[in-house]
Structure 1
Amino acid sequence: MTSPSDKRASGNPAKQAQIELTVKQQREQKRQEKLAEYQKQVARRKRGKLVWWVVGSVASLAVIGLVVASFALAPAPAPSYEAGNATGQEISGVQTFENRSDHVQGTVTYEQNPPAGGPHNPYWLNCGVYTEPQVNENAVHSMEHGAIWVTYDPARVGEAGVDALKAVLPSSYAILSPYPDMDTPVAVSGWNNQLKVDDPTDPRIQEFFTEFWRSQNVPEPNAACSGAIDGPGKA
């Protein structure tokens, strides 16, 4: 019985050498093919790792960007004032009054415009920012509880001015609303105290809040400024 190697053998030395060379070439070709396939697999794995690294890096950068943007674009926190922190500071331009504090029905003719106290509706206006004018009698009741009512003439105070006023509002016990046809662009009113200014960025507005916000000298200190009436245009 003859083996495959015997079949490939040839009595002709030149022929035999050619056969052996062909076999070596075939083996080398197969080796090269296996090497090439291995190199392709290695390259694919490298590309896969690179893709995942790029995807991971981009995702990480996106997350970092969102975090940074959330801090950068987040609204500034509302300023805080100490309740009842009246120091007796004299603020230039502040007027003081003596007003009644009884509850009444119907429309009241107030001595100040906007009002800074006086008879008022039994239901108070919930504190907050409003884009429409509010009923005097409800807002006055809120001031009786220690709220500050900031009003502006919409014909003379634009969007930037309104934003400046919003920036000084605390998170509670404050009302901001338009008040057409005032005799001044901005009025800041607390119970029996009022400041009128021409510029919404006037630093005396914050001074007024520091002195009169949630004053303990109002008729009903520490009473609520929510849970009653939402006026029109509440933001």
Structure 2
Amino acid sequence: MSPSPDKRTSGNPATQADINLTVKQQREQKRQEKLAEYQKQIARRKRSKLVWWVVGSTAALAVVAVVVASFALAPAPAPSYQAGNTTGREIQGVETFQNRSDHVQGAVTYEQTPPAGGPHNPYWLNCGVYTEPQQNENAVHSLEHGAIWITYDPERVDAAGIDALKAVMPSSYAILSPYPGMDTPVAVSAWNHQLKVDDPTDPRIGEFFTEYWRSQNAPEPNAACSGAIDGPGKA
């Protein structure tokens, strides 16, 4: 039988002992090299797992931050009111009128400023926020459908006041527009009802909406407030 490739032999016992020691050293060296390589692989795997964990954690935190920011920065939802909630209760400062509701062509001279009802154009003003004054005749037709028209004097109501008025508006059946030359900073009008106030944050504005928004006492309470005329400055 021939000796194994990594095992040398010698007839001299002393020389054979040296050979055996050398073979053992070589084997130990190979074993240490394999062990070192294995340890390197383990270390690489640990580093890779750590990197992916850091990346995954960072991505997860980023997603959470985006979600939190979306909630924090999202605009407040529009307030809601119950349609036809008219109870007949008295709100301090609200005036009540009796107006005709016929359709006419051309300009109309109204008894109230801003108008709170009366003859009006056959086409209504689409509800929404406007940055420019609107035609009385179209806005009054919207009041006939149960909308509420918030008007403000642009010389006496600043941007913060306008934001306060927007905050009380529901998502439909409401109009906001400037109205220069009023005798009060803010007027809130429904069909045959009107409230004039000095402060855009006056809580009675919200009470007015609660009582008169889409009132069943309007001449056409279930008619649309869109699909007709977009006035100038529609936001």
Q: TM-score range by the shorter chain?
A: over 0.9
Distance 1:109 1:29 in 2: 108
Aligned equivalent of 2:97: 97
SS at match of 2:45: helix
2:87 corresponding residue in structure 1: 87
Deviations 1:26-63 (A, max 9, x none): 21111111111111111111111122222222222222
Match of 1:64 in 2: 64
Q: What residue is the counterpart of 2:218 in the other structure?
A: 218
Alignment partner of 2:187: what SS? strand
> 1:95 aligns to what SS in structure 2?
strand
Letter in 2 for 1:22: T
CA distance in 1, matches of 2:191, 2:146: 7
- Residues 156 and 9 of structure 1, relative CA distance in 2, 3 Å threshold: same
Once the two structures are superposed, the pairs formed by residues 1-235 of structure 1 within 5 Å of their partners are: 3=3, 8-235=8-235
Report the AA paired with residue 103 of structure 2: H
Secondary structure at 2:210's aligned position in 1? helix
> Aligned AA for 1:232?
P
CA distance in 1, matches of 2:86, 2:133: 29
In structure 2, what residue type is equivalent to 1:85? Answer: N
CA contact (8 A) 2:7 2:23 kept: no
User: How far off its partner does 1:167 sit?
Assistant: 1.1
Shift in Å, 1:191: 0.8
Name the aligned partner's letter for residue 169 of structure 2: L
Letter of the structure 2 residue corresponding to residue 53 of structure 1? W
- Counterparts in 2 of 1:21 and 1:7: CA distance versus 1, 3 Å: closer
2: CA distance, partners of 1:28 / 1:168: 84
1:89-118 deviation per Cα after TM superposition (whole angstroms, max 9, x unaligned) = 111111112222111111222221111111
Please say if residues 154 and 179 of structure 2, whose CA atoms lie closer than 8 Å, have aligned partners that are also in contact. Answer: yes
Per the alignment, do residues 54 and 225 of structure 1 end up closer, same or farther by CA in structure 2, a change over 3 Å counting? same
Q: Do the aligned partners of residues 5 and 121 (structure 1) sit closer, same or farther apart at CA in structure 2, a change above 3 Å counting?
A: closer
Work out the CA distance in 2 between the residues paired with 1:6 and 1:32. 17
Give, in whole Å, the separation in 2 of the partners of 1:206 and 1:6: 98
In 2, the alpha carbon distance for the partners of 1:221 and 1:162 equals: 27
RMSD of aligned residue pairs (Cα, Å): 1.9
Counterpart amino acid of 2:131? T
Q: 1:214 Cα shift? A: 0.8
Q: What SS does structure 2 have at the residue aligned with 1:8?
A: coil
Q: What amino acid sits opposite 2:29 in the alignment?
A: Q
Change (3 A) 1:104 1:67: same
Distance in 2 between residues matched to 1:150 and 1:9, nearest whole Å? 110
- Flag the 1:4–1:89 CA change in 2: closer, same or farther, 3 A: closer
Using the TM superposition, give the Cα deviation of residue 72 of structure 1 relative to its aligned residue in structure 2, in angstroms. Answer: 2.0
- Partner Cα distance (1:72, 1:7) in 2: 77
Offset, 1:124:
0.1
Shift, 1:19, TM fit: 2.7
Q: Which amino acid aligns with 1:99?
A: N
Paired amino acid for 1:146: G
Q: Distance in 2 between matches of 1:43 and 1:157?
A: 68
Shift of 1:2: 5.7
Gaps of 5+ in 1: none
State the shift of 1:12 in Å.
4.4
